[in-house]
Structure 1
Amino acid sequence: MTIRKPNFEDMLAADQDLGLRLSTDDLTAFTGMMQAVAEDYAIVDALTPELPPVRYPRAPGHYPAPEDNPFNAWFVKSRVEGRAGGPLSGLRVALKDNIMLAGVPMMNGASSLRGYVPDVDATLVTRLLDAGAVIEGKAQCEYFCVSGSSHTSALGPVRNPHDETRSAGGSSSGCSALVASGLVDAAIGTDQGGSVRIPAAYAGFVGMKPTFGLVPYTGVMPVEMTLDHAGVMSGDVATNARVLQAIAGMDGLDPRQQDLPTDRAYGADLLAGAKGLRIAVVPEGFGWANSETGVDQAVRAAAARLDELGARVDERPIPLHRKGHAIWTPIATEGTVAQMEGLNYGSNWKGLYVTSLMRAQSDWRDHAADFPDDVKSVLLAAHYFRGQYRGQTYAKAQNLVRRLKAAYLAVLADYDMLLMPTVPLKAPKLPAVDCGPAEWVGRALEMNANTAPFNATGLPALSIPCGRADGLPVGMMLIGRDHAEAMLYRAAAAYEAAFDWKTL
């Protein structure tokens, strides 16, 4: 872009906006001062920034026809082959469509981003390809990744393979349908309030939200930088662990990453069994107002099966868990909108800024009337509460996260993991397109009371299918201390090996 130097009229408009009450002489003086600032901006504009190299060839791909797009799960099909002979050689992977794949369209479920084509690969994309995976394309996701259901994308609802009248879960909705149907071996989703784990529970597969910062978010469109997690979705535990092994670790470009362990071996204990594991069942994760009896019963039965496998399973209350979702809410609400207003990156952090995305997102207000009701509800809530309390509630919630995490860690000092339902209900019916705002928003946000607290605290959480209710999958969530992913995989693998959830 060309940097235009500000003139007197620009300074006058700024003065009126800021309420500085400058005199004409002062405005003239400041206009002169701005010329030197503009020259520095022009120098920066003329320099070429360093972007991560794009190493693997690919084509822009194609938009699949409806008959070639089961469950409306794909956004773009574009096959990118990774390094021959790597540890993920031949593994078919889908990417959620907020993950950048250079040269391939990305719209993040939003009509306002139609036509955007990233110029970089996300770090996790490069790592998948280095490990030999085959990226099959970009999967649909929910509009700006706000919904936990699968009905809000600008391209229409994603349907659950177990019952196409029902939600596949969101916001990683296309990934959900592709993994659950076996059309891919694994997918990379993102999770700010449960968007990897909710689909795993609704559609019956393994979903891991790892420790905050473990997987670099570089090259992924952010939602709220203190909640952003990239996670792995797969049909089985071993594949999940293999993929996490490939994409985890520091990249030097994501300030969310700090003090990560280097001795990661996520699949090392998959055959160790459940004997000796200490598991705390959290009663506050059951019996929500919208909890379904069949879901709670299936998860309690799964806990009893882990006890049969030799784990020590006890019930341990964590009363503050009942307020965890409330603590998450101001962070997600105000933080998401602040991120949008900052053109997705804001300021005051040292990460990779993808300026092409900033340009593409810069006119989002011009499209706000077209946003779905769940996005509008977040905008309205943030506008009101930030206006009334000037960000203090957001700040207080962030401070309370430390107390919430300490409450979980107090129990985890004596146990290896916590256990509760992933979501309180089985996959609900997709709402009608013309339903009112209350039903639209309710369906989008009704399910994350148990999942959201672990985005705020950053603790790793894994959803595994543990049984069925009325013929639909039920997810059991296991939560560990920071960087306890291998332990969670061990417990999940023991359950998976001993029980076929589809027959329970």
Structure 2
Amino acid sequence: MLVALGEADMALGGDQGGSIRMPASFSGIYGMKPTHGLVPYTGIMPIEIYVDHTGPMTASVADNALLLEVLAGPDGYDSRQINVKTHPYTKALQGDIKGLKIGLVTEGFAQANAEKDVNAKVKAAGKKLEALGATVGEVSIPMHMVAPALWMPIGTEGLTQTMMWGDGYGVSRPDLYVTSLMDFHRNWRNRANEMSETTKLFTMFGTYIRRYYGSRYYGKAMNQTRVLTAAYDQALGEYDLLMMPTTPIKATELPPVDAPRELYVERALNMISNTAPFDITHHPAMAVPCGMSDGLPVSLMLVGKHFDEPTIYKAAFAYEQAGDWKKM
């Protein structure tokens, strides 16, 4: 399965009811968010060009690596593909992980809504990786806690200008524009009442900011993102991989049909605090299932250096082969 990865969950707060749970951690799914631009985005409707990533979601690490091997590389259309470095990813699925250094990011376990059982499962996975030969230590990256605040102006203003007012594509890029999709999407203006509460909110908020403040907050956030990227790069200079919960919480129930707007928005955004930072720093990150709690899956996230997906696959494969994740 090929999916567009990012924080598109904020646009999902539709009118579904009942007790269906949102897929905060997909059961048995290995999801790779590759380095930004590694996989071409051509033909996929953007949300925000700087944030959007494309990557594979599969039932095994081997399938994931194989699919990325097929997908990765420049396509001649996507202007975001700059100095792309591809690898034979399936070759990373061999040997042991002895000597691999993995840093547990302190702040990744300290989110305001973090659940103790989720943190415990991910830390137990760290112990398992240590038993397999990796060196696992703790590393503090204070800027990780403010990263969502940097993501917000980029995601909000980018979504408004590109996906909404820009008919799904925006301007100023020599990409392949799918005009039929642009024409279709433009019709949202005639059906705005049918959009999710979060899409309405972000579109109005982004429009308000642009009208009264211009793009200064987008620019300020983008400038600070360089500092954030450097903070992760510094930690990745000491460790081969960084690790934390993919989501600080287990899957939550979808809001009922008559839920207040506040609940829709809260449910759409309460799982992205650990993943959003790497949308804007563009580091590759992979979700790896690592246990069950209360009948729901828990997932760990492995983050690597730019274009170093092979190291992520190496660790993920070793963990996968160590046993049935549902029993860990």
Superposition TM-score, scaled by structure 1 size: 0.62
Which of 269, 276, 280 lines up with 1:456 in the alignment? 280
Unpaired runs of at least 5, structure 2: none
Which of 264, 267, 292 lines up with 1:443 in the alignment? 267
Q: How far apart in 2 are the matches of 1:334 and 1:294?
A: 35
Q: In the alignment, which residue of structure 2 is the partner of 1:278? A: 101
Identity among equivalent positions (%) equals: 44
Q: Does 1:402 align with 2:226?
A: yes
Q: In the alignment, which residue of structure 1 is the partner of 2:241? A: 417
Structure 1 residues 150 and 234: CA distance shift in structure 2, 3 A: farther
Letter in 2 for 1:350: P
Tell me by how many angstroms 1:346 deviates.
1.6
Determine if contact 2:2/2:55 at 8 Å carries over to the other structure.
no
Q: In the alignment, which residue of structure 1 is the partner of 2:75? A: 251
Determine if contact 1:167/1:202 at 8 Å carries over to the other structure.
no
Q: Does 1:498 align with 2:313?
A: no
Letter in 2 for 1:272: G
Measured on the aligned residues, the alpha-carbon RMSD in Å equals 1.9
Determine if contact 1:146/1:375 at 8 Å carries over to the other structure.
no
2:90 aligns to what SS in structure 1? coil
Q: How far apart in 2 are the matches of 1:435 and 1:203?
A: 26
Q: In the alignment, which residue of structure 1 is the partner of 2:165? A: 341
Structure 1 residues 150 and 358: CA distance shift in structure 2, 3 A: closer
Determine if contact 1:266/1:485 at 8 Å carries over to the other structure.
yes
Q: Does 1:489 align with 2:313?
A: yes
Determine if contact 1:478/1:488 at 8 Å carries over to the other structure.
yes
Tell me by how many angstroms 1:148 deviates.
5.1
Per-residue CA deviations over 1:7-42 (Å, capped at 9, x if unaligned) read: xxxxxxxxxxxxxxxxxxxxxxxxxxxxxxxxxxxx
Q: In the alignment, which residue of structure 1 is the partner of 2:115? A: 292
Determine if contact 2:102/2:239 at 8 Å carries over to the other structure.
yes
Q: How far apart in 2 are the matches of 1:308 and 1:412?
A: 21
Q: How far apart in 2 are the matches of 1:375 and 1:418?
A: 32
Q: In the alignment, which residue of structure 2 is the partner of 1:165? A: 19
1:388 aligns to what SS in structure 2? helix
Determine if contact 1:148/1:448 at 8 Å carries over to the other structure.
no
Q: How far apart in 2 are the matches of 1:338 and 1:347?
A: 10
Q: In the alignment, which residue of structure 1 is the partner of 2:292? A: 468
Q: Does 1:362 align with 2:186?
A: yes
Structure 2 counterparts to residues 115-130 of structure 1, below 5 A: none
Per-residue CA deviations over 1:257-281 (Å, capped at 9, x if unaligned) read: 011124x111112122221111011
Tell me by how many angstroms 1:388 deviates.
2.9
Which has the larger displacement, 345-354 or 276-285?
A: 345-354
Determine if contact 1:203/1:427 at 8 Å carries over to the other structure.
no
Q: In the alignment, which residue of structure 2 is the partner of 1:353? A: 177
Q: How far apart in 2 are the matches of 1:166 and 1:502?
A: 21
Structure showing greater relative contact order (alpha-carbon pairs closer than 8 Å, 6 or more residues apart): 2
Superposition TM-score, scaled by structure 2 size: 0.94
Tell me by how many angstroms 1:95 deviates.
5.5
Tell me by how many angstroms 1:149 deviates.
8.5
Which of 68, 80, 84 lines up with 1:260 in the alignment? 84
Runs of 4+ in 1 over 4 A off after TM superposition: 148-151
Please tell me whether Structure 1 or Structure 2 has the larger radius of gyration of its CA atoms. Answer: 1
Determine if contact 1:283/1:316 at 8 Å carries over to the other structure.
yes
Tell me by how many angstroms 1:383 deviates.
2.2
Tell me by how many angstroms 1:168 deviates.
4.0
Determine if contact 1:212/1:460 at 8 Å carries over to the other structure.
yes
Which of 9, 13, 18 lines up with 1:147 in the alignment? 9
How many residue pairs match? The answer is 326
Q: Does 1:210 align with 2:34?
A: yes
Q: How far apart in 1 are the matches of 2:298 and 2:235?
A: 25
Q: In the alignment, which residue of structure 2 is the partner of 1:57? A: none
Structure 1 residues 464 and 310: CA distance shift in structure 2, 3 A: same
Tell me by how many angstroms 1:165 deviates.
3.4
Which of 141, 161, 167 lines up with 1:318 in the alignment? 141
Letter in 2 for 1:309: L
Q: In the alignment, which residue of structure 1 is the partner of 2:201? A: 377
Please state which structure has a larger fraction of its residues in helix: 2
Letter in 2 for 1:400: Q
Unpaired runs of at least 5, structure 1: 1-93, 99-140, 158-163, 170-197
Structure 1 residues 459 and 261: CA distance shift in structure 2, 3 A: same
Tell me by how many angstroms 1:381 deviates.
1.7
Tell me by how many angstroms 1:167 deviates.
2.4
